[in-house]
Amino acid sequence: MELNNLVHEAEGAETRPPLVIAHGLYGSARNFNSLARHFTAHRRVIMVDMRNHGDSPWDAEMTYPAMAGDLAETITGLAGGRAVVLGHSMGGKAAMALALTEPRRVAGLIVADIAPVGYDHAHGGYIDAMASVDLATVTRRSDADPALARTIPEKMLRSFLLQNLLVEHGKARWRLNLAALGAHLDDLMAWPTGWPEPVFEGPALFLNGGASDYVLPEMHPRIRALFPDVSFQTLPGADHWLHAEQPQNFANAIGAFLAEIDSAPVTG
């Protein structure tokens, strides 16, 4: 699938591998627009809307192998066939799936606050809340907030979800395929099973929030088994949306990892 994308071109000669950024569930490429500008010295930065999100096509299939295939297509078409891949949450699982199945396309892997394991976090209520909004009565985003507030008390979370509500020419629509996301929530919370799990030998950074429960120390052996050249870093006090809560610390950690990749000798 050809994903919608936002691209920041390299400043000066492009001498380093491009960086491809994949957002999490209910997110979009625009979530990383400010972050991307930190990394454009000699590399192109490509942010994608994942399938069934943003302005990318909708499809009934919403699985990690499918999303990994989408990222591979993006890297082939826009990144010269090989890139560093950064993924947050759902995007991190898709990036891991890509690295394990098509390692030649991944110069380095950055996974933000997610692990290759199944989770039991409840998301169905968010989809139901969005689907319950009477779009015929919405003329601006704030009109939908009271309906979401009935079941989602966190204002910050509602604001995040409402970024997906588009109002054009007096008509409102969600830029999320709520039906496909709802049908595949179990797949999105799980880690794919029944497929070979090769090892990704390339460099990997797993970056987690210290206040988040998505990546716990007991998950590290599982991560090391699949990504042996891994380093772990925690942003103290950050929760699951660590890139939004601590953007400078997040950028610093990624910048240091990219510098290590850029300085490493190229091997055959």
Residue range 65-96, pLDDT digits in tens: 999 999 999 999 999 999 999 999 999 999 99
For the chain, the first-to-last Cα distance in angstroms comes to 30
Mean pLDDT computed over 206-220: 96
Mean pLDDT computed over 4-20: 95
What is the reported pLDDT for 268? Answer: 44
What is the reported pLDDT for 197? Answer: 73
What is the reported pLDDT for 213? Answer: 94
Residue range 102-155, pLDDT digits in tens: 999 999 999 999 999 999 877 778 999 999 999 999 999 999 999 999 999 999
- CA atoms 137, 141, 146, 151: torsion sign: positive
Task: For residue 171, give the H/E element and its range.
Answer: strand 171-174
What is the reported pLDDT for 68? Answer: 97
Mean pLDDT computed over 16-26: 97
133: DSSP letter: S
What is the reported pLDDT for 194? Answer: 74
Give percent of the chain with pLDDT exceeding 90: 91
Question: Among the listed ranges 156-170, 185-199, 215-229, which one has the minimum average pLDDT value?
Answer: 185-199
Torsion of CA 8, 54, 76, 105, to 10 degrees: 90
Average pLDDT, the chain: 94
**For residue 245, pLDDT beyond 80:** yes
Instruction: Label residue 170 by pLDDT band (50, 70, 90).
Output: confident
β pairing state of 204-209 and 45-48: unpaired
**Within 10 Å of residue 62's Cβ, how many Cβ atoms?**
24
Q: Which residues touch 106 (CB under 8 Å, ≥6 apart)?
A: 82, 83, 84, 85, 95, 98, 99, 200, 202
